[in-house]
Amino acid sequence: MNLKYTGERQIPSRPGTIEDIDSKHIERYKWASIFTYNKRVYDIACGVGYGSLLLKAREYSGYDNSQETIDYANEYYSKEPKVKFFTADACNMPDLPAADVIVSFETIEHLEKPDTFLAWCASHGEILVISSPIKNSFARSKFHLFEYRLNEFSEALKKHFSNTEMFIQKNDLGIIYPCKPDDKGVAIAICQ
């Protein structure tokens, strides 16, 4: 099965691997694995499913709104019984048992109802690891409905979580903490 590259989803050059996935995406997943090791994990907007190889979860469930993408993930990444993929819209997630950790990278900027999604995450996970590109850090993507400034992203999360720690991933410096108000790059938050 081949997926058409649209410029939005990361697709490996060799299905079932992380070959030629943007190193910044790989770094985010590896960094998140500190929180997901041996846990029940929901990866929302999982794309083709390569994150399942990196999160080291005890039980991994990936969700994406594209049936074609989920079919690809099931074909190439669900080789173990602990890894499963499902079609679901982030703003209309099913009522699931609580996860230990929810991971959602570069999702919120695509959503018409980000508060609906964040409320679901707050009620269905102990920890949320979430990222979003900061406005004016990169050329605006035609796929994004909204791009947050760093303080706007933080405030959106604080409406739903009492403890939020903000990190920044810069192109050349990896993932760092603490964020400075004028930082550019991809913001990553740990929310509880």
Radius of gyration of the chain (CA): 15
CA dihedral 151, 153, 157, 158 (to 10 degrees): 10
Q: What percent of the chain has pLDDT over 90?
A: 77
**What domains can be seen in the chain, in order of their start residue?**
23-191 (3.40.50.150)
Which of 31-35, 96-100, 121-125, 143-147 is predicted least confidently? 143-147
**Mean per-residue pLDDT over the chain, rounded:** 92
This prediction has a pTM of 0.93
Q: Is the pLDDT of residue 140 over 90?
A: no
| The pairing of beta strand 174-176 with beta strand 164-170 | antiparallel
